[in-house]
């Protein structure tokens, strides 16, 4: 039997080494440094009703465009990073999608630079180039205002700009510029969720559930932050969040009040009197599935404590007295959560 012929090797257009060089060349920044950028956990997310949240573009289109922009002609991501780390050469950016809503995506960016310099940032990206970009752009300006008022209660916003998304089918009239901005990231803080029993939970790597007492303490802290952001001179206040927990983040707390910070604000309103401010907080509620989730703590004394913490005892009593007078004069509708009887029990004059 004749010996079997050895098959000829398939011709290659370029060697494996050449391919590696081309791939490495794509990682080089305009400064000539190699920068590795990796995205993870970009799978679709579900809303509170279990439905997949709509996206207006492929996530790969965003990640590829963002990585290319950071390495070539970025205007806000790198400048925000260097605002914190200084003029350092970056080595790695690990980006993880940690929150998604109807209008925005939030990434956590872990940065590693030369000389072992490290930092963590947030990146908020609009979900389209129209109404979502307008919301995100407005949100950045409002976050700057609120951070100046109460820096201890608000995530620090940095710089904003646009990300160019080319059309996947190379149609130039379908190219988009979506708005995005950077923030400082607070270590240990996570997205909040509402459980089926009405209690809150932290969306850390493993879901951390709060009990009833921790949930009421978290609500009290949210109310306190909303009150602290109020400007009594201009009578200007942040609007009550459109989603009950999407605009706050929290840190794990085994004992005591959970740590809460404001991470987003989409609107602010003028001509808000103290009585109207209280009424908006008391009336704020959302229907989640078969239950109703309200912002105000179940115990009215917890609400009074939030007022006291934010305003001081004298101003808290004065605000509640104004609210009571507005209810008696029927300028505001009476609500069961804080009606005239409850105010009398609290000994509000």
What value does the mean pLDDT of the chain take?
Answer: 87
Its pTM stands at 0.86
**Cβ contacts of residue 328 below 8 Å, gap of 6+?**
340
By residue count, the chain amounts to 349
Please name which of 144, 107, 146 lies closest in space to residue 125, comparing C-alpha atoms.
107
Confidence of residue 22 (pLDDT cuts 50, 70, 90): very low
Confidence of residue 17 (pLDDT cuts 50, 70, 90): very low
Mean pLDDT of the region 173-187: 88
State residue 341 phi and psi, 5-degree precision.
-65, -45
Confidence of residue 9 (pLDDT cuts 50, 70, 90): low
Q: Which of the two residues, 90 and 46, has the higher pLDDT score?
A: 90
Cα 127 to Cα 17, 165, 176, distances in angstroms: 39, 11, 11
Q: List the structure tokens of 2.
A: 């004749």
**Given this model, what pLDDT does residue 23 score?**
61
Residues 298, 215: Cα–Cα separation, whole Å: 10
**Given this model, what pLDDT does residue 19 score?**
47
Residues 281, 173: Cα–Cα separation, whole Å: 45
Q: List the structure tokens of 242.
A: 């459109």
**Cβ contacts of residue 226 below 8 Å, gap of 6+?**
237, 238, 240, 281
Q: What is the per-residue DSSP string for 137-175? A: HHHHHHHHHHHHH-TTTBPPEEEEEEEEE--TT--GGG-
**Given this model, what pLDDT does residue 18 score?**
47
- Residue ranges per structural domain of the chain: 28-168+175-184, 189-345
**Given this model, what pLDDT does residue 207 score?**
82
Residues 125, 104: Cα–Cα separation, whole Å: 5
**Given this model, what pLDDT does residue 29 score?**
82
Confidence of residue 26 (pLDDT cuts 50, 70, 90): confident
Residues 164, 129: Cα–Cα separation, whole Å: 10
**pLDDT over 70 percentage in the chain:** 90
Return the exposure string of 191-225: e unless at least 16 CB atoms fall within 10 Å of the residue's CB, then b: bbbbeeeebbbbbeeeebebeeebbbbbbbbbbbb
Confidence of residue 106 (pLDDT cuts 50, 70, 90): very high
Are the CB atoms for 120 and 187 separated by under 8 Å? yes
Confidence of residue 157 (pLDDT cuts 50, 70, 90): very high
Cα 191 to Cα 58, 278, 318, distances in angstroms: 23, 26, 35
State residue 30 phi and psi, 5-degree precision.
-65, -15
Q: What is the per-residue DSSP string for 192-221? A: EEE-TTS-EEE-SSS-EE--HHHHHHHHHH
Are the CB atoms for 218 and 193 separated by under 8 Å? no
Where does the chain have alpha helices with state H? Answer: 16-25, 59-71, 77-85, 131-149, 212-228, 274-283, 300-311, 313-328, 340-345
**Given this model, what pLDDT does residue 326 score?**
95
Mean pLDDT of the region 141-145: 96
The model's pLDDT over 269-302, given as tens digits with 9 standing for 90+, comes to 999 999 999 999 999 988 877 788 899 999 999 9
Mean pLDDT of the region 159-188: 86
Q: Which of the two residues, 282 and 12, has the higher pLDDT score?
A: 282
State residue 182 phi and psi, 5-degree precision.
-105, 150
Only one residue has tokens 């465009």, namely: 65
Mean pLDDT of the region 251-261: 78
Asked whether the predicted pLDDT for residue 254 surpasses 80, the reply is: no
Burial degree of 338 (CB within 10 A; 0-12, 13-18, 19+): buried
Confidence of residue 132 (pLDDT cuts 50, 70, 90): very high
**Given this model, what pLDDT does residue 187 score?**
83
Confidence of residue 126 (pLDDT cuts 50, 70, 90): very high
- Count the neighbouring beta carbons within 10 Å of the beta carbon of residue 326: 19
Asked whether the predicted pLDDT for residue 5 surpasses 60, the reply is: yes
Q: Which of the two residues, 115 and 77, has the higher pLDDT score?
A: 77
Confidence of residue 16 (pLDDT cuts 50, 70, 90): very low
């Amino acid at each position: 039997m004749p010996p079997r012929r050895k098959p000829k090797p398939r011709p290659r257009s370029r060697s494996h080494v050449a391919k590696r060089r081309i791939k490495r060349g794509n990682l080089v920044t305009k400064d000539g440094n190699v920068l590795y950028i990796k995205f993870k956990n970009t799978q679709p997310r579900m809303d509170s009703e279990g439905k997949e949240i709509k996206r207006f573009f492929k996530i790969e289109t965003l990640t590829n465009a963002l990585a290319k922009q950071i390495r070539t002609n970025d205007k806000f991501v790198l400048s925000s990073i260097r605002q914190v780390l200084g003029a350092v050469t970056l080595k790695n950016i690990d980006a993880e999608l940690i929150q998604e809503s109807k209008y925005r995506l939030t990434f956590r960016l872990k940065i590693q630079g030369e000389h072992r310099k490290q930092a963590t940032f947030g990146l908020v990206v609009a979900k389209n180039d129209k109404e979502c970009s307008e919301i995100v752009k407005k949100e950045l300006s409002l976050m700057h205002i609120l951070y100046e008022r109460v820096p201890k209660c608000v995530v620090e916003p940095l710089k904003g700009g646009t990300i160019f998304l080319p059309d996947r089918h190379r149609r130039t009239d379908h190219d988009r510029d979506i708005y995005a901005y950077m923030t400082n990231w607070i270590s240990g803080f996570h997205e909040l969720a509402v459980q089926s029993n009405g209690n809150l939970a932290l969306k850390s790597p493993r879901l951390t559930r709060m009990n009833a007492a921790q949930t009421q303490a978290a609500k009290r802290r949210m109310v306190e932050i909303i009150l602290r952001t109020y400007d009594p001179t201009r009578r200007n206040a942040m609007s009550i969040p459109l989603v009950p927990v999407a605009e706050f983040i929290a840190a794990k707390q085994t004992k005591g009040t959970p740590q809460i910070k404001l991470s987003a604000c989409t609107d602010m309103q003028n001509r808000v009197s103290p009585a109207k401010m209280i009424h908006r907080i008391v009336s704020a509620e959302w229907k989640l599935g078969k239950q109703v989730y309200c912002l105000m703590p179940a115990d009215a004394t917890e609400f009074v404590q939030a007022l006291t913490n934010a305003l001081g005892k004298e101003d808290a009593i004065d605000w509640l007295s104004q609210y009571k007078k507005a209810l008696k004069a029927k300028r505001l509708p009476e609500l069961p959560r804080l009606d005239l009887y409850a105010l009398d029990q609290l000994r509000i004059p």
